[in-house]
Structure 1
Amino acid sequence: MSSGETRLALRAGATCVITPAGAVLLNPPRKQKLSGLPRGQLLALKALNRAPATVAELAAVAGDDVTALLDRLAGAGWLAVTVRAEGRDLYTVQPFGTPPRDEPAPLPPGATLSKFAVLHRDSDGFVLEHPLSWCDIRIHDLRLLTLLEQSGAEDSGLPAGFLADLHRGGFLADPAAEAAEFRSRSWSAPDLWFHRRSTLGERIVTWEHFGPTKWAKGRFPQPPTRKPDYPAAPIPLPRPDLAALRAADPTLTAVLEDRVSTRAFDDAAPITVAQLGELLFRTARSRGVRSEAPGEELVSKPYPSGGSVYELELYPVVRNVAGLEPGMYHYDAHGHTLRKIAEAGSPAVATLVKSTSATLADGAEPQVLLVLGARTGRVMWTYEQVSYAVILKHVGVLMQTVYLAATAMGLGACAQGFGDTAAFVSAAGVDELEECSVGSIIVGTPRAG
């Protein structure tokens, strides 16, 4: 911080309150008391609270040495530091947590950007993030971007201070070590970044832009609960007698203990359309729509959903169902009907069916593949940052609901760990930013033995 052009500021969201006993730094829910400060350092804090300043400008205001104060603030993660050269901002170290007390170990030759480092653009420009760092590095001078990929070279062209800040922030790593250690090798960059971005921690400590903020209310209409009907004529499905099921169903303990993933099915005795209808009714039908605020629709279904938004749609891909033509259908949860949306022989449907070959025994094809589509706007209208994580949680509870209902009915089920989202988009005729596939589960009549 000795460079004459380096500019300092309180980190984003932080303020300083001067008190009779000294000062208090606030960045809710975090706060730090600073007592016993000389008058000059209090004046420097007041200046920082008003606007960014250089060390020289703060020293002029304080009338004495402010190095000790600035080191204390930087060590606790209260200072954002903008490095400048020749009158231009190069980059800013933006802390959101507390820097490590000890200096990092020297990097071996050839160290470069960690595989977990993520460079992306937001409304303020380019920012470099690392899921395990205590800071972000905002890039102001785009010439630095062209040099980042050479960060491990002896003569990368990067300013020495920039390399030091990258290292201290944890953005640099030995690629051989990252590949050799299981704990780092086992995580992919998208998984770790998604994990940290969708959970509370040092980066996210308040609900201001996190969770069910309903950020879109007043800006955009909430996507409706009911998806527009596909053009095909509806196929009504039988409705089971719930009172009879309450009396005759096996116990919850029985279905929990008997539930297994079925990978072999009996094509000589396939699932019937009545059984498929009962399974869909028991697991995914709409039990009603209500409104608790103007412009908002909430739904009730047999499985739980955050905020009662219920964004999931079911698409049965039928290969062998007694009483139902093969093809891909959409399940209308509000009317308890099916509408055919694609033929069985279409390339997209064939691709969806083929994706199950790694799931079923001997590469068999499913009697029915239930593809779970997410109308993401239903969740994203309400939730910030955690939307996709919430959707995946909904996938989990719906899959378990299907498993348990299928077990109670004597059917087999097997969830897939992957699917072909491009094939789904093509078959369903949807915009992937509005609706995408997020899961799939195979159901049918289990093979005896």
Structure 2
Amino acid sequence: MSAVTYPDQTRYALRAGVTCLTTSAGATLLYPPRNEQLSGLGLGQLQALRTLNRGPATVSQLSDGSGTDDVAGLMDRLTDGGWLSVTVRDGGRNLYSIQPFGQPPPRPVTRLPWRATLSKFAVLHRDSDGFVLEHPLSWCDVRIHDPRLLSLLDGFGAAESPLHVSIKSQLAADLHWCGFLVADPDEEEREFTTRGWHAADLWFHRRSTLGERTASSAHAGAPMWAVDTFPQPPTRKPHYPGEPVPLATPDLAVLRANDPTLAAVLAGQQSTHAIDDANPITRDQLAELLFGTAGGVRSTSAESAARPHPSAGSVDELELYPIVRHVDGLAPGMYHYDSFDHVLRPVADLESPAVQRLLATASVPLAEGGAPQLVLLLAARSGHLTRNNGQVAYADILKHVGAVTQTVSVIATAMGLGACAQGFSDTAAFAAAANVDELAECAVGSIIVGSPAHDR
């Protein structure tokens, strides 16, 4: 049983998604697949649960004239079991709320040392309800209602804080229990497993996978949240101005007859870091590569366009932007590949500062200071997925990038070309070069393609 004593004004509420069924014999708490039978309850405790079903209440309100000790003990039991949200209040105002989504560990029995500090993985951000403190490995969120508490997050001994020491001690104890505080500020840097993770990466990992926070896909950040508010973004990106550059359509029958087997291609895949600039990739080779990767749209509707690579719901949010430095038969520059018409649409001059930044970034993995003949930059029109897929949308985008990258690599290998995928790209330079809002369309990957240099 919990040894904590919350202020009398503290309010308790059933956590989101919990149902409490009461009968004359007892009560059952339901949060599928978890449930708990409560037996041996007194009449005052049963009435308290019925009151709790109607909304948040203090122990005094839940007791309603019966013994407060029995009701307070029940609230402690349910709080420690993760069945309740707890809102600590003082002076008639909400201070903070503990909002569980998992099952809590036992409360710590040791006091925090004075060096205790907020974990490096703790994330404070705003949402529609105000400030919320999250930790990817915690079993709960802590919602900060009173902005005076924000200054305490950098140390609980702040002399300038107007809050009573009991409130500061209570918050520190709760943050320790919730997993937000570490006893030693260097603790997370000494362990290999915690030092190797960054806050953004771990938060993203837990936010985009199933677990206690996201028990099923139905909990994945309000999927379909925009259906009744915002229209579906158009499947086809608006054309860039300028005369389109037609591309040859490959003969699929010939390719099927003459291409190497998939097993041979996979066995021959390797990253190419040296290119043969004397024998550049040709315009027709680029056409074949683009067509095989993203062309030949098989069907289209208001919401999808089926391209030859995996995509959740056939939304196909990815766009390809070839940056041409040295392709035989094609003027240098940055283009957008229109997979519907199988043409290239000019986007920006090769010498523009933003395109030069993209080229400089792509040149890093090449040997002896070489420059790429061709960079295929992948961009995501993120709204196509965020509208329907909630918080897992960006994770889906990155999975699609992996699928397209592998497709490009396989096709390039079958064609005798070299390819080298990059783990980073300059998203600010892309937004400037393509004249797009990064929140609407962002760079998410790039692949260098060219004629591989062979030892002579």
How far off its partner does 1:77 sit? 0.2
Give the aligned partner of residue 106 of structure 2. 101
Give the aligned partner of residue 149 of structure 1. 154
The alignment status of 1:125 with 2:130, answered yes or no, reads yes
Do 2:7 and 2:90's aligned partners in 1 also have CA atoms closer than 8 Å? Answer: no
Do 1:286 and 1:299's aligned partners in 2 also have CA atoms closer than 8 Å? Answer: no
1:380-400 deviation per Cα after TM superposition (whole angstroms, max 9, x unaligned): 121111000000000000000
CA 1:156/1:22 → structure 2, altered by over 3 Å: closer, same or farther?
A: farther
> How far, CA to CA, are the matches of 1:25 and 1:370 in structure 2?
55
How far off its partner does 1:189 sit? 0.5
The alignment status of 1:254 with 2:264, answered yes or no, reads yes
Give the aligned partner of residue 381 of structure 1. 387
The alignment status of 1:417 with 2:414, answered yes or no, reads no
Could you tell me the TM-score, scaled by structure 2's length?
0.93
Give secondary structure in 1 for the equivalent of 2:171.
helix
Do 1:104 and 1:168's aligned partners in 2 also have CA atoms closer than 8 Å? Answer: no
Do 1:372 and 1:438's aligned partners in 2 also have CA atoms closer than 8 Å? Answer: yes
Give the aligned partner of residue 230 of structure 2. 220
Quick one: which of 245, 259, 275 aligns to 1:265?
A: 275
AA aligned to 1:251 is T
Give the aligned partner of residue 411 of structure 2. 405
> How far, CA to CA, are the matches of 1:285 and 1:29 in structure 2?
45
Do 1:147 and 1:156's aligned partners in 2 also have CA atoms closer than 8 Å? Answer: no
Give the aligned partner of residue 351 of structure 1. 357
Give the number of equivalent residue pairs. Answer: 444
AA aligned to 1:35 is S
> How far, CA to CA, are the matches of 2:334 and 2:233 in structure 1?
24
How far off its partner does 1:362 sit? 2.1
The alignment status of 1:82 with 2:87, answered yes or no, reads yes
> How far, CA to CA, are the matches of 2:221 and 2:170 in structure 1?
37
**Which stretch shows the higher mean deviation, 69-78 or 410-419?**
69-78
> How far, CA to CA, are the matches of 1:440 and 1:240 in structure 2?
24
Quick one: which of 368, 374, 380 aligns to 2:374?
A: 368
Please list, as runs of the form range in 1=range in 2, the aligned pairs for 1:229-240 lying within 5 A after superposition.
Answer: 229-240=239-250
Could you tell me the TM-score, scaled by structure 1's length?
0.95
Give the aligned partner of residue 169 of structure 1. 178
> How far, CA to CA, are the matches of 1:3 and 1:341 in structure 2?
63
CA 1:123/1:78 → structure 2, altered by over 3 Å: closer, same or farther?
A: same
**Which stretch shows the higher mean deviation, 207-216 or 157-166?**
207-216
> How far, CA to CA, are the matches of 1:104 and 1:301 in structure 2?
58
AA aligned to 1:201 is G
Quick one: which of 320, 326, 333 aligns to 2:339?
A: 333
How far off its partner does 1:80 sit? 0.9
How far off its partner does 1:106 sit? 4.3
The alignment status of 1:196 with 2:206, answered yes or no, reads yes
CA 1:211/1:306 → structure 2, altered by over 3 Å: closer, same or farther?
A: farther
Identity of aligned residues (%): 60
How far off its partner does 1:223 sit? 0.7
How far off its partner does 1:93 sit? 0.9
Do 1:28 and 1:206's aligned partners in 2 also have CA atoms closer than 8 Å? Answer: no
Give the aligned partner of residue 22 of structure 1. 26
Q: Give every structure 1 segment of 4 or more consecutive aligned residues whose post-TM-superposition deviation is greater than 6 Å.
A: none
> How far, CA to CA, are the matches of 1:361 and 1:429 in structure 2?
31
Give secondary structure in 1 for the equivalent of 2:13.
strand
How far off its partner does 1:358 sit? 2.3
CA 1:372/1:83 → structure 2, altered by over 3 Å: closer, same or farther?
A: same
> How far, CA to CA, are the matches of 1:246 and 1:101 in structure 2?
63
How far off its partner does 1:218 sit? 2.4
AA aligned to 2:19 is T
Give secondary structure in 2 for the equivalent of 1:390.
helix
**Which stretch shows the higher mean deviation, 213-222 or 347-356?**
213-222
> How far, CA to CA, are the matches of 1:341 and 1:388 in structure 2?
25
1:211-230 deviation per Cα after TM superposition (whole angstroms, max 9, x unaligned): 79322222211111110000
> How far, CA to CA, are the matches of 1:353 and 1:107 in structure 2?
52
**Which stretch shows the higher mean deviation, 312-321 or 375-384?**
375-384
How far off its partner does 1:69 sit? 1.8
Gaps of 5+ in 2: none
> How far, CA to CA, are the matches of 2:66 and 2:214 in structure 1?
34
1:349-389 deviation per Cα after TM superposition (whole angstroms, max 9, x unaligned): 00000002321112311010110010111111211110000
> How far, CA to CA, are the matches of 1:332 and 1:43 in structure 2?
66
How far off its partner does 1:29 sit? 4.1
The alignment status of 1:40 with 2:44, answered yes or no, reads yes
1:134-192 deviation per Cα after TM superposition (whole angstroms, max 9, x unaligned): 111111111111232234x4757461101111111111122211112111111111001
AA aligned to 2:92 is G
How far off its partner does 1:42 sit? 1.2
**Which stretch shows the higher mean deviation, 60-69 or 108-117?**
60-69
Give the aligned partner of residue 169 of structure 2. 160
CA 1:286/1:385 → structure 2, altered by over 3 Å: closer, same or farther?
A: farther
Quick one: which of 427, 432, 436 aligns to 1:430?
A: 436
Give the aligned partner of residue 185 of structure 1. 195
Give secondary structure in 1 for the equivalent of 2:263.
helix
Do 2:107 and 2:177's aligned partners in 1 also have CA atoms closer than 8 Å? Answer: no
Give secondary structure in 1 for the equivalent of 2:234.
coil
